[in-house]
Amino acid sequence: MTASATCTPLRLVVIDDEPLALKQLRRILSRRGYAVDVFEDPVAALKLIDQSPVDIVLTDLRMPRRSGMDVLRQVKALRPQAEVIIFTGYASIDDAIAAVKQGAFYYIEKPISPDQLLSVVQRAADKIRLQAVNARLKEELSKKEPARDILGVSTPIRELVKVITKVARIDCNVLIQGESGTGKELVARAIHLGSERRELPFVGFNCGGFAEELVASELFGHEKGAFTGAHSLKPGLFEQAQGGT
């Protein structure tokens, strides 16, 4: 997301091996206030997309060096949040279904009507902005109410929520004690959600659920053949939680 949460224009990349079509598309979209980069070469376009974020990619389906489906797959790998719109003069229902299944926002048949183009791009832009607003609200909510999943109105519960909120702001080790079934992992997850690590993994592990000799293997991982039954390399939970909790 490059511009959706601000007043700056959304950034669009348009790919088509027809120079005249590119010129027309750029003119139509620029007049609507979008920041537009155009490319005849899909490889060059993908290089830009890899190096800097974009919001919407519009690509022709049939091009010499990459097909529109190739572009779609690579854009989704590089920029999962970007929306991709495919257009072509060789439209078919099968192509449209395949494109949508692989994550395309919409499929437009050439010749492209300016009104249809602007309508589809506007819908994609609205979706991007809505997702940005939702993400921001979720982040703000997690900061304000990291313990929102802990239900209760009693004095001890309210005190617990206060402690969770306070501890979550501090980057330190935390020991949580309690009887089995009292919600220790729920408290740990709430602390994680209220911390600066909330976007990184939270990995829970119940030591009591594993034989003593397997605990170290679960936590630290093991190499293939390290012991009987170790048929492949296995990353440990500490590695999986790298940077998180």
User: Residue 66's domain is classified under what CATH number?
Assistant: 3.40.50.2300
pLDDT score of 46: 94
User: What is the per-residue pLDDT for 6?
Assistant: 46
pLDDT per residue as tens digits for the range 15-71: 999 999 999 999 999 999 999 999 999 999 999 999 999 999 999 988 888 888 999
User: Which of 123, 140, 157 lies at the terminal end of a domain, its last residue?
Assistant: 140
Q: What is the rounded distance in angstroms from the CA atom of residue 150 to the CA atom of residue 41?
A: 53
Q: Are residues 191 and 71 in the same domain?
A: no
Q: Is residue 99 part of a domain?
A: yes
Same domain, 23 and 94: yes
Domain presence at residue 126:
yes
Q: Tell me, yes or no, whether 123 lies in a domain.
A: yes
Beta-bridged to residue 56, according to DSSP, are 12, 83
- 131 with 56, same domain? yes
> For residue 5, is it within any domain?
no
Mean pLDDT value across residues 221-243 = 75
Tell me the C-alpha distance between 109 and 50, whole Å: 27
Rounded Cα distance, 196 and 36, in Å: 35
Handedness of CA 161, 166, 171, 177 (dihedral sign): negative
d(CA 35, CA 22): 14
pTM of the model: 0.58
- Give yes or no: residues 90 and 56 share one domain: yes
pLDDT band at 82 (very low <50, low <70, confident <90, very high): very high
Q: Is residue 15 part of a domain?
A: yes
pLDDT recorded at residue 79: 93
pLDDT tens for each residue of 109-123: 888 899 999 999 999
Are 195 and 207 contained in the same domain?
no
Q: For the chain, what is the mean pLDDT? A: 83
Of 112, 140, 168, at which residue does a domain stop?
A: 140
| Res 20: pLDDT | 93
pLDDT at 212: 75
Q: What is the pLDDT of residue 157?
A: 79
Residue 195 near residue 166 (C-beta atoms within 8 A): no
- Does residue 89 surpass a pLDDT of 80? no
Q: Round to whole Å and give the CA distance between 12 and 48.
A: 11
Domain range for 229: 203-245
127 and 177 fall within a common domain: no
C-alpha to C-alpha distance for 150 and 183, rounded to whole angstroms: 9
The two tokens of residue 220 are 């630290």
212 CA to centre of own chain:
37
Asked if the structure places residue 3 within a domain, the reply is no
CA angle in degrees (0–180, nearest 5) for 231-233-238: 130
- Residues of the chain with pLDDT > 90: what percent? 34
Q: Is the same domain home to 193 and 124?
A: no
pLDDT digits (tens, 9 = 90+) for 139-148: 666 555 666 6
Could you tell me if 101 and 208 lie in one domain?
A: no
Residue of 216, 204, 215 whose CA lies nearest to 245: 204
Residue 1 lies in a domain: no
Higher-confidence position of 34 and 173: 34
Instruction: Supply the pLDDT for residue 164.
Output: 86
Closest listed residue to residue 243, CA positions, set 198, 191, 193, 188: 198
Query: Do the domain assignments include residue 4?
Result: no
Neighbour count for residue 217 (Cβ, 10 Å): 17
Give the pLDDT of residue 159. 84
Question: When comparing pLDDT for 19 and 158, which is higher?
Answer: 19
- Which helix or strand (DSSP H or E) is residue 96 part of? helix 93-101
Q: Are residues 107 and 36 in the same domain?
A: yes
pLDDT at 5 over 60: no
Residues 183 and 240 in one domain: no
Domain count, the chain: 3
Residues 32 and 119 grouped into a single domain: yes
Q: Do 32 and 101 fall within a single domain?
A: yes
Strand 56-60 relative to strand 11-15: parallel, antiparallel, unpaired? parallel
Q: What is the reported pLDDT for 56?
A: 97
Q: What percent of the chain has pLDDT over 70?
A: 86
